């Protein structure tokens, strides 16, 4: 009997152990519920950021992903770019910047998750929205609707990508980093435009994706009718009013726009980090659980990848990591502190639904409280022009305008979206090499001959865009350009005709193919006519239907003039002869050595007009020094709803002057640069420059909230209160060489233009110089003792500093 009892006990213990190891299926892999994405049984608040692999070079990926992790991200999100991977039917490219597997494995190596947006339509201000141009010519095709030729092509590419990820075991269900996939992209407007055919297509796309059995959830962004089990998600500057289409789906924000794209001839759009942080905190306090910054690193539209049309080669997007791979401060640092504060609240956020309490006309509290998750609170002041003092849990809290305070314990404020302690970094472009480049050129224009007297006739040309150059008898007569708002061109100008036969040539230039719109595959680009000659004896002559000869592309490109091998196939003019006339339609080449150091590099193209650049055969992209209008820039106030027209800079300046040159494209000596100039420019003034941090600033209040204080008072034990600090750091290899400004008191102004206020401590400079001079980084606690005295008792003081890095 004793033996039998022992056997029963062992059997019972065995069953318990088996039960512990065999978790229910719902707790393995990636699932979701009404609160969050659930990874291996754990609800998670996920902070994500977009980094598009073709918009940087492979040697940059590891550094970018590591900076993202250091900035508090959990997930890296990327589109998959069909036209880069399948440039012609059945011929695939997964090399270099398009090595998708390498990129995902880089994310995995850093210990982050991945969100793969297969699309395969991407928009993204990318040429043709990511579709290969050959797709347009498939017989009977109609993009993004219930059309069999399109669905067959879309299914084939989607299967190709999914199969590739499975073969490399990259889905989380296989032990990989991919926790989410996306099918289609921002289809809501198209779905409404296409009607029943659009709805049928959405259902088909969702079913097709789910049947691929990736083991991770699929999402559709900006598609309110996403069918189960696909999760519909939000894109926008704000998503706090968003709710998923079913109560059992989590609230997800797949594109929190960190800035905005730029277009040639337009201004630079900047989104204040105070407002970006406010929008993210507001989404979280409404129950949101997944936020992705679009973009976290924007990068560069190399080659002809920019879409739009008229999208610039730079896709910087005012992102936390800039185009060159450097952190943008204070945006990067302030968001990093936001992420830390949100993570302190995570247990409460995933365990309870928020309760709302009014604290005033424009103020409110959102509280997450449960026995399992503890208590976390978000205090909001959405008034745009004044501070508010509120009472919450019998305590007073001061809230700046348009701000949210985060209290992970419902007592201590550890972060406020409008109070920025992260340093500001001022950037400069410094000449990398003092030697002038020796230029040579191929002039593609024939000798000119014109009829110069008499009343000239006129020529009118109608073009669907995007740029037009008119040549009469071999001479450039005029150039005309469309805009992003109206890409069409209606040109009328004098026609310098001569007696006898005249030769008319029209050069049409695309500045990126469209990437968004209903049936954009049917939109035309180029000269469609009419082309009419006016002011001749017969009145006018319609040249549209005369016999024209057509040539596609540049002869110089077909001759491979942009490569080392191709440059020897033609004779180049030497030195000053190549640039003295600044002729249009001219090829230039020069050689240069790579500069010392590891700073990011760029080409200063301010002296040129419009064209393209190659370095050692690699296509940097399009350049165009079109200027932004002078009237659109104004002072930027973070408070209030953000729109791209709100905070603009660069008025009366070229939209893009500097063009990123990846260091991995260079060799130590004799680098070949080839430039094709359409309009005429001074190539002698093209310069290679370095992107440097010239100085760093900080402006911190003595009442700034500190994350280290969040637990004070929770255990009933007295503890020392941590005081705010000013933190300064120069890039690796550079040190603080001078304190340009320092004031503890009531300083005024912003980084680069600080001034002393009515209250100032004379010891300010001495204290900063003692702590920071010669150091790569330093920290100074904001206390009266550190500065020898209280310069103005009963007044809230700040410490403002600007330090020079060299």
DSSP assignment string, 673-734:
EEEEESS---GGG-EEEEEEEEEEEEEEETT---GGGTTTTSSS---PPPPPEEEEEPPTT-
The share of the chain scoring above pLDDT 90, in percent, equals: 73
The per-residue pLDDT for 437 is 58
The per-residue pLDDT for 17 is 30
Burial of 182 (0-12, 13-18, 19+ CB in 10 A): buried
Please choose, from the candidates 714, 71, 703, the residue with its C-alpha nearest in 3D space to the C-alpha of residue 416. 703
Question: Residue 314 corresponds to which tokens in the numbers above?
Answer: 């730079």
At which residue do the structure tokens 């959830």 appear? 217
- R_g of the chain computed on alpha carbons: 30
The per-residue pLDDT for 525 is 84
Mean pLDDT for the stretch of residues 421-444: 73
pLDDT surpasses 90 at 582? no
Reply yes or no: is the peptide bond before residue 229 cis, omega within 30 of 0: yes
Q: What crossing angle do the helices spanning 331-344 and 273-285 adopt, rounded to 10°?
A: 20
Q: How does residue 659 score in pLDDT terms, banded at 50, 70 and 90?
A: very high
Q: In what order do the strands lie in the sheet with 355-358?
A: 355-358, 363-370, 374-381, 403-407, 415-416
**CA pair distance 30, 12, nearest whole angstrom:** 31
3-state helix, strand, coil in the chain (%, to 5): 20, 30, 45
Q: How does residue 573 score in pLDDT terms, banded at 50, 70 and 90?
A: confident
Q: How does residue 65 score in pLDDT terms, banded at 50, 70 and 90?
A: very high
Task: Report yes or no: 115 and 76 within 8 Å, Cβ to Cβ.
Answer: yes
Cβ neighbors of 386 (< 8 A, separation 6 or more) are: 401
Q: Distance between alpha carbon 49 and the CA centroid of its chain, in Å?
A: 9
The per-residue pLDDT for 440 is 54
pTM of the model: 0.91
Give catalytic residue positions: 186, 255
The share of the chain scoring above pLDDT 70, in percent, equals: 91
Least-confidence region, from 95-99, 340-344, 713-717, 736-740: 713-717
Query: Which of the two residues, 506 and 54, has the higher pLDDT score?
Result: 54
**CA pair distance 115, 489, nearest whole angstrom:** 41
The per-residue pLDDT for 482 is 87
3-state DSSP assignment of residue 131: coil
Q: What is the mean pLDDT of the chain?
A: 90
Query: Which of the two residues, 495 and 620, has the higher pLDDT score?
Result: 620
């Amino acid at each position: 009997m004793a033996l039998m009892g022992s056997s029963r006990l062992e059997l019972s213990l065995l069953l318990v152990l088996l039960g512990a190891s065999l978790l229910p299926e719902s707790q393995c892999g990636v699932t979701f519920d009404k609160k969050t994405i659930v990874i291996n049984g754990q609800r998670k608040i996920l902070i994500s950021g977009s980094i598009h692999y073709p918009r940087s070079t492979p040697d940059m990926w590891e550094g970018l992903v590591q900076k993202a992790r250091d900035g508090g991200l959990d997930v890296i999100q990327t589109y998959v770019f069909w036209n880069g991977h399948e440039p012609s039917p059945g011929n695939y490219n997964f090399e270099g910047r398009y090595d998708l597997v390498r990129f995902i494995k880089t994310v995995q190596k850093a210990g982050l998750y991945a969100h793969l947006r297969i699309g395969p339509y991407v928009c993204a201000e990318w040429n043709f929205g990511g579709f290969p141009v050959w797709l347009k010519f498939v017989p009977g095709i109609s993009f993004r609707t219930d059309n069999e030729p399109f669905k067959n092509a879309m299914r084939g590419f989607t299967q190709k990508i999914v199969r590739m990820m499975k073969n490399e075991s990259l889905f989380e269900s296989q032990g990989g980093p991919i926790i989410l996939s996306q099918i289609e992209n921002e289809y809501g407007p198209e779905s409404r435009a296409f009607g029943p055919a659009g709805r049928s297509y959405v259902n088909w796309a969702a079913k097709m994706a789910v049947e691929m059995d990736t083991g991770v959830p699929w999402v559709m962004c900006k598609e309110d009718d996403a069918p189960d089990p696909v999760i519909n998600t939000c894109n926008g500057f704000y998503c706090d009013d968003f709710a998923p289409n079913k109560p059992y789906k989590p609230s997800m924000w797949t594109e929190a726009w960190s800035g905005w794209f730029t277009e040639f001839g337009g201004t630079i759009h900047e989104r204040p980090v105070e407002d970006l942080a406010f929008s993210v905190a507001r989404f979280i306090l409404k129950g949101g659980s997944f936020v992705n910054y679009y973009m976290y690193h924007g990068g560069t539209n190399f080659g002809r990848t920019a879409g739009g049309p008229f999208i610039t080669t730079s896709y910087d997007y005012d992102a936390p990591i800039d185009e060159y791979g450097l952190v943008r401060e204070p945006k990067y640092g302030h968001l990093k502190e936001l992420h830390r504060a949100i993570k302190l609240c995570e247990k409460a956020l995933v365990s309870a639904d928020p309760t709302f309490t009014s604290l005033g006309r424009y103020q409110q509290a959102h509280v997450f409280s449960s026995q399992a998750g503890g208590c976390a609170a978000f205090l909001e002041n959405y008034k745009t022009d004044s501070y508010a003092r509120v009472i919450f849990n019998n305590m007073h809290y001061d809230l700046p305008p348009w701000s949210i305070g985060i209290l992970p314990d419902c007592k201590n404020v550890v972060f406020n979206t409008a109070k920025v302690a992260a340093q500001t970094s001022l950037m400069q472009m410094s000449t990398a090499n003092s030697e002038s480049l020796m230029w040579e050129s191929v002039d593609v224009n024939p000798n000119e001959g014109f009829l110069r007297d008499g009343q000239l006739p006129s020529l009118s040309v109608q073009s669907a865009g995007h740029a037009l150059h008119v040549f009469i008898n071999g001479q450039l007569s005029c150039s005309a350009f469309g805009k992003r708002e109206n890409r069409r061109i209606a040109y009328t100008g004098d026609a310098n005709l001569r007696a006898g036969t005249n030769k008319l040539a029209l050069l049409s230039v695309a500045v990126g193919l469209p990437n968004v719109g209903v049936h954009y595959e049917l939109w035309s680009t180029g000269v469609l006519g009419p082309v009419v000659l006016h002011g001749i004896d017969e009145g006018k002559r319609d040249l549209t239907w005369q016999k024209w000869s057509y040539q596609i592309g540049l002869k110089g490109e077909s001759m491979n003039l942009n490569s080392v091998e191709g440059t020897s196939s033609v004779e180049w003019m030497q030195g000053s002869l190549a640039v003295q006339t600044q002729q249009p339609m001219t090829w230039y080449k020069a050689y240069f050595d790579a500069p010392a150091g590891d700073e990011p590099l760029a080409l200063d193209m301010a002296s040129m007009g419009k064209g393209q650049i190659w370095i050692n055969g690699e296509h940097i992209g399009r350049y165009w020094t079109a200027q932004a209008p002078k009237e659109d820039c104004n002072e930027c106030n973070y408070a209030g709803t953000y729109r791209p027209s709100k905070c603009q800079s660069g008025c009366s300046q070229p939209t893009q002057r500097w063009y990123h040159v990846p260091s991995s494209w260079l060799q130590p000596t004799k680098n070949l640069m080839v430039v094709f100039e359409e309009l005429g420019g001074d190539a002698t003034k093209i310069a290679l420059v370095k992107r440097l941090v010239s100085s760093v600033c900080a402006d911190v209040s003595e009442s700034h909230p500190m994350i280290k204080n969040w637990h004070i008072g929770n255990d009933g034990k007295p503890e020392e209160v941590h005081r705010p600090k000013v933190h300064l750091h120069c890039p690796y290899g550079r040190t603080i060489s001078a304190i340009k400004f320092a004031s503890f008191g009531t300083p005024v102004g912003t980084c680069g233009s600080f001034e002393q206020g009515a209250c100032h401590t004379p010891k300010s400079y001495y204290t900063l110089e003692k702590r920071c001079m010669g150091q790569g980084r330093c920290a100074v606690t904001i206390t009266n003792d550190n500065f020898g005295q209280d310069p103005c008792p009963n007044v809230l003081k700040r410490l403002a500093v600007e330090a020079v890095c060299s």
